[in-house]
Amino acid sequence: MNLGPFVVGRSTVVYLHDLVVTAAAMVFAMYLRVGNDAFDLYRPVLLASIPMVMIIGAVTFRLFGLYRGIWRYASAPDMVQLVKAVSVSAVVFGGLISALVMLVPMEPMPRSVPLILWLVLLVALGGPRFGYRLLKDSRLARRPLEGGQGVIPVLLIGLGEAAALFIRSLDNEPHAPYRVVGVLDEKGRRVGRDIRGVPVLGDIDQLAQVVESLGQRGQRPQRLILTKSQPELDSGVVRRLLDEADTLGLPLTRLPRLTEFKEALSEGKIELRPIAIEDLLGRPQAVLNHSAITDLIAERRVLVTGAGGTIGSELCRQIAALRPAALVLVDNGEFNLYAIDMELRESFPAIEITTVLADVRNRDRIMRLFHDRRPDLVFHAAALKHVPLVESCPGEGVLTNVIGTRNVADAARAVGVRAMVLISTDKAVRPSSVMGACKRIAEAYCQALDTVAVRDAAAGTHPATRFVTVRFGNVLGSSGSVVPLFQRQLARGGPLTVTDPEMRRYFMTVREAVELVLQASAHGVAHPDERGRILVLDMGEPVRIVDLARQMIRLSGFKPDIDVKIQFVGLRPGEKLFEEILYAAEQPSRTEADGVFLASPRLIDYALLNRTLHELETAAAADDRVRIAAILHTIVPEYQSPEDEVAVAARI
């Protein structure tokens, strides 16, 4: 409101309105109780009450934040604050007016007036607020069902809070880009009912019939919107919906996650999201033990190797959020290390962060680093992970994945680290590649150190450092995974290259993988009786790579084998059709940590393994591939390279 040189905000106008209404409510409450005597016999006390109740209201209405809300969006929380403010005002007024009557000779106010005032104030103050909202909602609800030009009719799949919020947000926006023509209830229990005037037309199995019925009424949706995500909606259901949407010629999108959705509502802008490949994975949802994870990390000095990689950088993010005393980032790649360092310093300015450019293969450098920083916990994620590249450069794989792990583990043992966590891979199980064999040796070395730590502690030579190994499968979207490859190939128009129609892999998202790594680590540190064993993450069911390729093509709006071809190119060096999480003899058992199994792989004597690793390091430094292969076979007898398989086939 503009009054000449004075500018009055809406909240000020509402404030003045409430004070005037409060004065009128005081008069009306007295009149309801004593009739015309309010202006005769009780006139003195009434005249004293009006300014008193206005002053009380002026203070309490502000204290309870009645002017932070907007009438247009008045809701239950606003009503609660209003009731509190009015109740306090009525109680304070009753006490003050009683005291005043005792001090000043006048007719005492009837004791029921403050109660009547409470009721009148609730109606007088709440009525305009909620009446204004109802008026606005009814005007928007009277918009023609066909909507304006460019308004997209949509069908919601999934009935819940997100669906209600989305419909309400459209009701509140006169120029909304979407118009909801119906909802499908995933459980089918509320078919035939309405949600804010939008009918629930059927369940998910009736999608085709509902779309056809809406089309006959001239309301065929142009888009399907999922309002729920995992774990609310099973990934198998999402895959089926994607196939059916493709048949109906309708794009399938989803609402943001509920927390993101509420933030978008507050900003007045909601953007639909494409179905992500993560939504299609058949992953179990683990229940995290947040207190155990926090106890593991909080107020401790943590060091992460490979901090710039996919797993390492996510480890750093989640660890930083748990308030460590200090965080040391170690990586051999300059740019990736710089990127995660800048991100963490911006997001967590209060944490002491040290960034170290170092190679885990440099034993002296790693030893000095550990002696200088004295970490309590070490997460060893540094490794060479690309199977064909390591296959072509086996010496480099050995020096990083085996010798680098030995250097980090020995440094952790030397300075008495509380626990070292080795990030391992399913490729270490019955390995067919140098990379997998190297990771299995890294596992074996940490197992061996874990078992001798008790003897060290008893002898007083070293503290009883806990060496925890966590093994899991592929991380969706990591720099070396198949998803970025498919995305690049899709951007070029295809084809998508798949090694074999039967190739399967375990997948999980990087965030979930790291959450479970932390959960497994907390379990391992809390259970020293499990020394020498390996923790394996529950990866759910393996996914066929060709199915993943087809789903990604559909998510991009194309038809597999028509718009974008899939080309089978055969196995690359070191690859196998199916990765395993466990050896048959490992006898896995569930742990109390959800999503984590305990396995018991073969143990190798520490002294024998250490001597053999010296020979392996010498062979790797000389790039003696024949000697490297021979030693790998000695340590990991189950290692079967492609050359071995060819030789066996020739003998047969």
356 and 465, same domain (yes or no): yes
**How many structural domains does the chain have?**
3
CA dist 166 → 202, 227, 525 (Å): 19, 9, 45
129 and 160, same domain (yes or no): no
pLDDT in tens, 549-577: 888 887 777 788 888 889 988 887 777 77
For residue 481, count CB atoms less than 10 angstroms from its CB and return exposed for 0-12, middle for 13-18, buried for 19 or more: middle
For residue 482, is it within any domain?
no
512 and 632, same domain (yes or no): yes
CA distance 498 to 231: 29
178 and 305, same domain (yes or no): no
Which of the 8 DSSP states describes residue 564?
B
For residue 113, count CB atoms less than 10 angstroms from its CB and return exposed for 0-12, middle for 13-18, buried for 19 or more: buried
Domain boundary among 248, 275, 302: 275
Taking the chain, what is the end-to-end CA distance rounded to the nearest angstrom?
Answer: 94
Compute, in degrees rounded to 10, the torsion defined by CA atoms 454, 459, 464, 469.
-50
For residue 650, is it within any domain?
no
For residue 283, is it within any domain?
no
Query: Quick check: 369 pLDDT over 80?
Result: yes
Closest-CA residue to 432 (of 652, 649, 638): 638
Q: What is the CA radius of gyration of the chain?
A: 34
Q: What is the DSSP string of 170-183?
A: HHT-TT-SEEEEEE
523 pLDDT tier (thresholds 50, 70, 90): very high
3-state secondary structure of 445: helix
The residues near 594 (Cβ < 8 Å, ≥ 6 apart) are: 286, 287, 288, 289, 519
Domain boundary among 275, 302, 318: 275
Query: Quick check: 10 pLDDT over 90?
Result: no
596 and 454, same domain (yes or no): yes
235 and 316, same domain (yes or no): no
For residue 254, is it within any domain?
yes
67 and 201, same domain (yes or no): no
Domain boundary among 247, 275, 303: 275
Q: Which domain holds residue 533?
A: 290-474+508-539+580-643
338 and 377, same domain (yes or no): yes
264 and 294, same domain (yes or no): no
For residue 549, is it within any domain?
no
For residue 39, count CB atoms less than 10 angstroms from its CB and return exposed for 0-12, middle for 13-18, buried for 19 or more: middle
pLDDT in tens, 32-74: 888 888 788 888 888 888 888 889 888 888 888 776 655 544 5
210 and 294, same domain (yes or no): no
609 or 2: which leads in pLDDT: 609
For residue 574, is it within any domain?
no
For residue 651, is it within any domain?
no
Query: Quick check: 170 pLDDT over 80?
Result: no
CA distance 487 to 592: 38
230 and 324, same domain (yes or no): no
CATH of the domain at 225: 3.40.50.720
For residue 333, is it within any domain?
yes
Instruction: State pTM to two decimals.
Output: 0.68
Query: Quick check: 201 pLDDT over 80?
Result: yes
133 and 164, same domain (yes or no): no
